[in-house]
């Protein structure tokens, strides 16, 4: 994606219909991370999870013990750096920074947090099924998305493809999360209507691949299996699934408390 952005940066500086101040931001722009760093938890994401833990405590504090107890709480996260540090920041906000908390080793194929990943039926009938992407494809060729491409092409000064639009949108989102006090120059290319259209376009994919029905299936699975899912924690005080997938924070946090 870096190659695409550098080429678009050159087009903007040569042909872009932007004011001098905006062009100056693009002139000084440089890629901030390598591809390997793109999915790591950043400071802003860590702070958001910490504050979420604090809000969780404020809202449900009367139902949750103030101190962490390994016999009452079992915390899980998927096997990624961002998920682990998301869980750690959330629990620090929930129990306090000095509370000693046990974190079990994450499983590469977790049967609860990502139960559908091991389901061949889901892979064939949902993920690999062209029907699951039908609405996404339809909206991708809609007048709303054509309008996004047209407006972006005019501002940049050259035609941009849907792939270019996606790269710009992702960079705008990630750099907004990485730099809380600065606006990414790539965000300057969008108006409010374009951002709304791109957010909806992204939501369509997650809805049809990871829709609400998945949550219902998970709850049915938990009800059927009961607490035997976690033999190390026979008496669980509170069982909560928290999933955060934020466009403006490059993290995916899955945790069971």
* Residue 255 included in any domain: no
Considering the domain architecture, whether residues 53 and 147 belong to the same structural domain is answered as: no
Q: What pLDDT sits at residue 240?
A: 47
Q: How confident is the model over 162-181, as pLDDT tens digits?
A: 999 999 998 998 888 787 77
Considering the domain architecture, whether residues 123 and 200 belong to the same structural domain is answered as: yes
Predicted model pTM: 0.71
What is the rounded radius of gyration, in angstroms, for the C-alpha atoms of the chain? 21
Kindly indicate the confidence band of residue 116, based on its pLDDT and cuts at 50, 70 and 90.
Answer: confident
* Residue 11 included in any domain: yes
Q: What pLDDT sits at residue 168?
A: 94
Residue with more model confidence, 42 or 9 = 9
Kindly indicate the confidence band of residue 239, based on its pLDDT and cuts at 50, 70 and 90.
Answer: very low
Which residues lie below 8 Å from residue 159, measured CB to CB, with a gap of 6+?
A: 153
Considering the domain architecture, whether residues 90 and 158 belong to the same structural domain is answered as: no
Q: What pLDDT sits at residue 33?
A: 66
Q: What pLDDT sits at residue 126?
A: 83
* Residue 165 included in any domain: yes
Considering the domain architecture, whether residues 17 and 122 belong to the same structural domain is answered as: yes
Q: Which domain does 42 fall in, by range?
A: 32-112
Query: What's the mean pLDDT when you consider all of the chain?
Result: 80
Written as six digits, the tokens of 54 are: 């604090």
The residue whose two tokens read 């750099």 is 175
* Residue 106 included in any domain: yes
Q: What pLDDT sits at residue 72?
A: 84
What would the mean pLDDT of 212-232 be, rounded to a whole number? 52
Of these ranges, 36-50, 139-153, 216-230, the one predicted with the greatest mean pLDDT is 139-153
Q: What pLDDT sits at residue 50?
A: 93
Of the candidate ranges 38-42, 63-67, 105-109, 210-214, the one whose mean pLDDT is the lowest: 210-214
Which residues lie below 8 Å from residue 76, measured CB to CB, with a gap of 6+?
A: 87, 104, 106, 110, 112, 113, 254, 255, 256
What would the mean pLDDT of 35-40 be, rounded to a whole number? 66
Per the structure, the count of domains in the chain is: 2
Helices and strands counted in the chain (H then E): 10, 2
Element housing 246 (H / E):
strand 241-246
* Residue 249 included in any domain: no
Considering the domain architecture, whether residues 142 and 181 belong to the same structural domain is answered as: yes
Q: What pLDDT sits at residue 194?
A: 96
Considering the domain architecture, whether residues 197 and 134 belong to the same structural domain is answered as: yes
Kindly indicate the confidence band of residue 4, based on its pLDDT and cuts at 50, 70 and 90.
Answer: confident
Considering the domain architecture, whether residues 182 and 150 belong to the same structural domain is answered as: yes
Cβ neighbours of 74 (radius 10 Å)? 21
The C-alpha atoms of residue 245 and residue 254 are separated, in whole angstroms, by 9
Kindly indicate the confidence band of residue 124, based on its pLDDT and cuts at 50, 70 and 90.
Answer: confident
Question: Does residue 39 register a pLDDT over 80?
Answer: no
Considering the domain architecture, whether residues 138 and 150 belong to the same structural domain is answered as: yes
Rounded (10°) CA dihedral 112, 113, 118, 122: 100
Considering the domain architecture, whether residues 18 and 123 belong to the same structural domain is answered as: yes
Considering the domain architecture, whether residues 134 and 76 belong to the same structural domain is answered as: no
Please identify, among 112, 140, 156, the residue that sits at the C-terminal boundary of a domain.
Answer: 112
* Residue 3 included in any domain: yes
Question: Does residue 17 register a pLDDT over 80?
Answer: yes
Considering the domain architecture, whether residues 9 and 43 belong to the same structural domain is answered as: no
Please identify, among 92, 112, 132, the residue that sits at the C-terminal boundary of a domain.
Answer: 112
């Amino acid at each position: 994606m870096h190659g695409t952005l550098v080429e678009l940066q050159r087009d903007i500086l040569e042909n872009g219909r932007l004011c001098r101040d905006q062009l100056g931001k693009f002139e000084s722009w440089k890629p901030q991370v390598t591809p390997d760093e793109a999915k790591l938890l950043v400071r802003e994401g860590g702070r958001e999870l910490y504050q979420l833990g604090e809000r969780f405590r404020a809202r449900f504090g009367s139902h949750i013990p103030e101190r962490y107890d390994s016999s009452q709480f079992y915390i899980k996260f998927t096997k990624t750096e961002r998920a682990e540090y998301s869980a750690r920041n959330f629990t620090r906000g929930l129990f306090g920074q000095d509370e000693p908390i046990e974190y079990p080793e994450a499983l590469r194929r977790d049967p609860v947090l990502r139960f559908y990943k091991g389901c061949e039926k889901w892979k064939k009938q949902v993920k690999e099924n062209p029907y699951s992407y039908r609405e996404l494809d339809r909206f991708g060729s809609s007048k709303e998305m054509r309008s996004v491409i047209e407006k972006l092409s005019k501002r940049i000064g050259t035609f941009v493809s849907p792939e270019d639009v996606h790269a710009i949108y992702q960079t705008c989102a990630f750099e907004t999360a990485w730099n809380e006090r600065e606006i990414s120059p790539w965000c300057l290319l969008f108006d409010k209507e374009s951002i709304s259209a791109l957010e909806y376009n992204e939501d369509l994919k997650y809805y049809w691949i990871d829709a609400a029905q998945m949550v219902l299936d998970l709850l049915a699975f938990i009800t059927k299996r009961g607490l035997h899912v976690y033999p190390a924690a026979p008496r669980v005080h509170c069982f909560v699934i928290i999933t955060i997938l934020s466009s403006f924070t490059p993290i995916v946090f899955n945790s069971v408390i």
